[in-house]
């Protein structure tokens, strides 16, 4: 039987799929080098509406960008200068408290060890003694590790230059992307055939609504959660409460991450500090109350359910994104899944209206 020739539409579809595959393969291979540009694009996308609003107030676009970037980096510098000494002080306090924590852990473990049979008791005592010795060396290991990392970084000039390049390229790329953001969008639309232009505007308008709502909403929620958790942990008296609260709050941009980043270390350090159930309960109530507040008040009000992804889909997106692109993939997993959902809804709508679906033949 002779092979049937491929139609033009089939060849076109194959070429499109091949092009998409090659594009994502290149992205995967160049993911490290592309990170500062992806970050800069995210900033440009995030703040383009702000620049447009400033332009409507008769402020030049270039002047608006300079003002915005100056305010952002000033706020970052002031926040860093204020928060860094507090975090360093908490780390030093924790390092000084480790011997006391070791002694407390030994006292707590003693009754449990005494209740074990003789053979298991000896093994448990040896295991705990070894673990306590390693914990006692933790501050020294941290200092040695930091010194070694610093020395390695300084000796590796290429790595240092690349790090400096990233620090410089992000604000520079953000500036130029903000400056030409509207022009880039207009140029892309000009390349779309007139017959498909309105559909393209509507389709990407839906994607823009989802992405902008998600990005700006998640950043707002992360900031509020940082304030709640940091303040709460410091009031409870958790060691390194500020650092844990900041990390847990900012990690809120990735679903399900705050529980790992914040709750586990907060419970551990609080127990070592106070050794009672009431303070542990306070930490649990703080994180539980914060998550309830975020889930039932902040997210519905700020995000307005624009993303609308099933929890299982969110988990799958996080796992797939992390396995392919690491931390960057985790950050981009949910918005990418939201965009794919918009595309799938459009494809489903087109299919339901198609002659293939409606035909009785």
In sign, the C-alpha dihedral spanning 181, 182, 183, 187 is positive
- What is the C-alpha separation between 164 and 206, in angstroms, rounded? 37
Is residue 138 scored above 60 in pLDDT? Answer: no
Q: Which residues form the domain of 215?
A: 204-350
Q: How many domains does the chain have?
A: 2
Are 153 and 221 contained in the same domain? no
Are 211 and 345 contained in the same domain? yes
Is residue 5 scored above 70 in pLDDT? Answer: no
* 41 is a domain residue: yes
1 falls in which pLDDT band (50, 70, 90)? Answer: very low
- Asked which of 160, 191, 222 is the last residue of a domain, the reply is 191
* 253 is a domain residue: yes
- What is the C-alpha separation between 327 and 325, in angstroms, rounded? 7
- What is the C-alpha separation between 67 and 48, in angstroms, rounded? 13
Q: Are 258 and 232 in contact (CB under 8 A)?
A: no
Are 150 and 123 contained in the same domain? yes
- What is the C-alpha separation between 28 and 25, in angstroms, rounded? 5
* 19 is a domain residue: no
Q: Quote the mean pLDDT of the chain.
A: 77
pLDDT at residue number 273: 81
pLDDT at residue number 66: 92
* 2 is a domain residue: no
* 126 is a domain residue: yes
Residue in this structure with the two tokens 């290149």, named with its chain if needed: 26
Q: Taking the model in full, what pTM does it have?
A: 0.65
Measuring CA to CA, how many Å separate 137 from each of 94, 140, 208, 233, 288? Answer: 13, 5, 51, 26, 34
* 318 is a domain residue: yes
pLDDT at residue number 20: 78
Is residue 283 scored above 90 in pLDDT? Answer: yes
* 125 is a domain residue: yes
């Amino acid at each position: 039987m002779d092979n049937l020739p491929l139609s033009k539409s089939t060849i076109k579809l194959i070429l499109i799929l091949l092009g998409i595959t090659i594009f994502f393969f290149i992205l995967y291979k160049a993911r490290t080098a592309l990170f500062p540009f992806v970050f800069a694009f995210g900033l440009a996308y995030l703040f383009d509406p702000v620049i447009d609003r400033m332009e409507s107030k008769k402020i030049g676009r270039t002047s608006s960008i300079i003002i915005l970037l100056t305010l952002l980096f000033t706020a970052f510098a002031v926040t860093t200068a204020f928060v860094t000494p507090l975090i360093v002080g908490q780390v030093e306090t924790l390092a000084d408290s480790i011997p006391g924590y070791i002694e407390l852990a030994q006292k707590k473990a003693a009754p449990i060890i005494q209740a074990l049979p003789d053979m298991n008791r000896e093994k448990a005592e040896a295991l705990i003694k070894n673990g306590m010795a390693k914990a006692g060396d933790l501050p020294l290991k941290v200092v040695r590790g930091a010194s070694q990392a610093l020395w390695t970084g300084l000796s590796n000039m290429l790595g240092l230059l690349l790090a400096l390049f990233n620090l410089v390229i992000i604000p520079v790329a953000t500036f130029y992307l903000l400056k030409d953001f509207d022009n880039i969008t207009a140029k892309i639309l000009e390349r779309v055939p007139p017959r498909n232009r309105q559909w393209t505007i509507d389709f990407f308008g839906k994607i823009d609504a989802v992405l902008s709502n998600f990005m700006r909403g998640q950043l707002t929620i992360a900031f509020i959660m940082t304030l709640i958790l940091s303040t709460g942990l410091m009031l409870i008296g958790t060691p390194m409460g500020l650092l844990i609260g900041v990390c847990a709050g900012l990690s809120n941009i990735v679903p399900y991450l705050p529980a790992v980043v914040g709750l586990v270390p907060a419970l551990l350090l609080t127990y070592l500090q106070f050794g009672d159930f009431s303070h542990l309960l306070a930490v649990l109530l703080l994180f539980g109350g914060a998550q309830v507040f975020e889930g039932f008040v902040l997210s519905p009000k700020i995000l307005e359910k624009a993303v609308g992804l099933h929890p299982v889909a969110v988990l799958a997106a996080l796992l797939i994104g992390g396995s392919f692109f690491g931390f960057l993939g985790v950050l981009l997993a949910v918005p990418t899944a939201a965009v794919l959902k918009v595309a799938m809804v459009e494809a489903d709508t087109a299919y339901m209206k198609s002659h293939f679906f409606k035909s009785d033949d």
